[in-house]
């Protein structure tokens, strides 16, 4: 909204006073700080309201180790606080004329709505089943398709035409050697990334602070990738021109072998808002947690991260960035497949963080080690840029 105000005040003294708003770097930092401060100042009051509303209700999943029963009474649905912080900060500092920003918000709040339904059913029915899996998947698919065909497409003669890049890049392989164009198949590929990431984050949200820090790391990584892909920065590169070595001004995205993203800098504003909101939530969610994220938070954040992977054209690299989430999801799939085929379990309990709990590791130790792994994954993903 502030950026839109800056644009409306054309050639006025007020616009010159607000000139700093035209710089994405300022708005990226401002969005992160604003989301952090909103969460810190409002969070305690919000959590207390959740506590009063959910008084006496059991918000602990049944399929968890026994020691989790000591957490009964801790309020859930704290992810709503994250959504408010992300939404307000993005609306304040992002360019609202950017399609990709609206898609990111749609997938975040759309998947958050699904999580809200899931949490509300669990609380109102006093059971841990919530929304049926098929209904959840159907709603996730619906919101994904609305984003693709409602915002990222243009319709000509009743036929949709994709407005986004359908080529993909692969880490460690230069785009000049391997840059396949999936065409309309990309719609399905994107669905796998967005919906898969959403459900993977949902599976990871099982210990205090376990899901939020990998989310913060992933959002910060995407902020860098989005800014590079959409900022228009150039770098002096040595190239051979007419048989001679010369310094040539090259777009940074081309130099690093990634695809350009229209509105990438505005996506970085959204990423920064996620980082700030995540930090404010961690203030209250760190062990021992004062509030749980709930499905309203985990599904929303997963949808946001999957959406950022698609919108920033880092779909394959997101497997590295989301390394912790991917490992958690794979552990569940391996456990289910093994039990169905052999009748045996690979892990003592899935997702894998429960396996480590049953092996005797303390909750804080598991959490911090997963945090470290997420930081390493983010760093490796950034390293792949130069290796392309």
Cβ contact 274:301 at 8 Å: yes
User: pLDDT value at position 125?
Assistant: 78
Q: Which one has a higher pLDDT value, 57 or 78?
A: 78
What Cα–Cα distance (Å) separates residue 273 from each residue in 4, 65, 138, 202, 305? Answer: 18, 34, 28, 20, 13
User: pLDDT value at position 221?
Assistant: 97
User: pLDDT value at position 302?
Assistant: 97
Q: Does position 69 have pLDDT exceeding 90, yes or no?
A: no
User: pLDDT value at position 127?
Assistant: 64
Residue 23 binned pLDDT confidence (cut-offs 50, 70, 90): confident
User: pLDDT value at position 179?
Assistant: 83
Of 48-62, 137-151, 277-291, 294-308, the range with the lowest mean pLDDT is: 48-62
User: pLDDT value at position 283?
Assistant: 96
Q: Does position 7 have pLDDT exceeding 70, yes or no?
A: no
Of 17-26, 35-44, 141-150, the range with the lowest mean pLDDT is: 17-26
C-alpha of 224 from chain center: 14
Mark out the alpha helices in the chain (DSSP H runs).
2-8, 13-17, 24-53, 79-93, 99-125, 133-150, 185-204, 212-230, 252-255, 264-285, 294-311, 318-321, 323-342, 352-358, 363-387
Torsion of CA 137, 138, 143, 146, to 10 degrees: 140
Residue 14 binned pLDDT confidence (cut-offs 50, 70, 90): low
Q: Does position 112 have pLDDT exceeding 60, yes or no?
A: yes
pLDDT in tens, 289-312: 999 999 999 999 999 999 999 999
State the burial class of residue 198 (Cβ atoms within 10 Å of its Cβ: 0-12, 13-18, 19+): buried
Q: Does position 165 have pLDDT exceeding 70, yes or no?
A: yes
Mean pLDDT of the chain: 88
For residues 2 and 101, give the distance between their C-alpha atoms in angstroms, rounded to a whole number.
Answer: 15
Residue range 131-153: mean pLDDT, rounded: 94
Question: Residue holding tokens 């497409």?
Answer: 153
User: pLDDT value at position 123?
Assistant: 87
Of 61-75, 121-135, 365-379, the range with the lowest mean pLDDT is: 61-75
**C-beta neighbour count of 341 within 10 angstroms:** 8
User: pLDDT value at position 22?
Assistant: 79
pLDDT in tens, 327-372: 999 999 999 999 999 999 999 998 999 999 999 999 999 999 999 9
CA angle 276–277–280, rounded 5-degree value: 90
User: pLDDT value at position 146?
Assistant: 96
Of 120-124, 125-129, 136-140, 159-163, the range with the lowest mean pLDDT is: 125-129
Q: Does position 9 have pLDDT exceeding 70, yes or no?
A: no
Please choose, from the candidates 326, 347, 328, the residue with its C-alpha nearest in 3D space to the C-alpha of residue 338. Answer: 347
Q: Does position 87 have pLDDT exceeding 90, yes or no?
A: yes
Of 153-157, 210-214, 218-222, 278-282, the range with the lowest mean pLDDT is: 153-157
CA angle 38–40–45, rounded 5-degree value: 95
> Which contiguous run of DSSP H or E holds residue 23?
none
User: pLDDT value at position 243?
Assistant: 65
Of 2-11, 36-45, 163-172, the range with the lowest mean pLDDT is: 2-11
Confidence (pTM):
0.92
Can you read off the two tokens belonging to residue 120? 């509300």
Can you read off the two tokens belonging to residue 230? 């959409």
Residue range 150-170: mean pLDDT, rounded: 87
For residues 156 and 160, give the distance between their C-alpha atoms in angstroms, rounded to a whole number.
Answer: 6
Query: Which residues make Cβ contacts (< 8 Å) with residue 290, sequence separation at least 6?
Result: 47, 74, 75, 284
Q: Does position 44 have pLDDT exceeding 60, yes or no?
A: yes
pLDDT in tens, 166-189: 999 888 887 777 889 999 999 999
Residue 319 binned pLDDT confidence (cut-offs 50, 70, 90): very high
Q: Which one has a higher pLDDT value, 64 or 179?
A: 179
């Amino acid at each position: 909204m502030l950026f839109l105000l800056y644009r409306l005040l054309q050639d006025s003294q007020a616009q010159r006073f607000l000139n700093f708003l035209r710089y994405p770097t300022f708005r990226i930092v401002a969005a992160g700080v604003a989301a952090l401060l909103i969460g810190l100042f409002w969070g305690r009051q919000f959590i207390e309201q959740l506590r009063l509303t959910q008084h006496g209700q059991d918000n602990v999943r049944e399929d968890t180790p026994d020691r989790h029963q000591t957490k009964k009474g801790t309020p859930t649905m704290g992810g709503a606080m994250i959504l408010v912080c992300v939404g307000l900060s993005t609306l304040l500092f992002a360019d609202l004329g950017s399609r990709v920003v609206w898609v990111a918000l749609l997938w975040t709040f759309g998947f958050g709505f699904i999580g809200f339904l899931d949490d509300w059913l669990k609380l109102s029915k006093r059971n841990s089943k919530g929304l049926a899996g098929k209904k959840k998947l159907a709603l996730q698919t619906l919101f994904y398709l609305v984003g693709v065909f409602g915002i990222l497409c243009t319709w000509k003669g009743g036929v949709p035409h994709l407005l986004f890049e359908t080529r993909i890049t692969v880490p460690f392989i230069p785009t000049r050697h391997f840059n396949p164009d999936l065409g309309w198949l990309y719609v399905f590929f994107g669905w796998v990334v967005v919906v898969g990431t959403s459900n993977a984050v949902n599976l990871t949200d099982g210990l205090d602070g376990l899901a939020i820090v990998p989310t913060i790391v992933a959002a910060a990584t995407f902020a860098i990738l989005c800014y590079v892909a959409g900022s228009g920065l150039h770098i002096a590169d040595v190239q051979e021109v007419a048989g001679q070595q010369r310094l040539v001004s090259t777009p940074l995205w081309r130099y690093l072998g990634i695809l350009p993203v229209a509105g990438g800098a505005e996506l970085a504003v959204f990423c920064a808002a996620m980082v700030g909101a995540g930090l404010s939530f961690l203030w209250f969610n760190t062990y021992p947690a004062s509030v749980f994220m709930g499905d309203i938070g985990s599904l929303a954040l997963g949808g946001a991260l999957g959406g950022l992977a698609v919108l920033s054209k880092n779909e394959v690299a997101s497997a590295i960035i989301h390394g912790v989430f991917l490992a958690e999801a794979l552990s569940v799939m391996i456990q289910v497949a093994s039990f169905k085929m052999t009748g045996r379990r690979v892990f003592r309990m899935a997702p894998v963080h429960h396996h480590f709990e049953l092996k005797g590791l303390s909750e804080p130790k598991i959490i911090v080690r997963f945090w470290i792994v997420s930081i390493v994954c983010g760093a490796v993903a950034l390293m792949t840029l130069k290796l392309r």
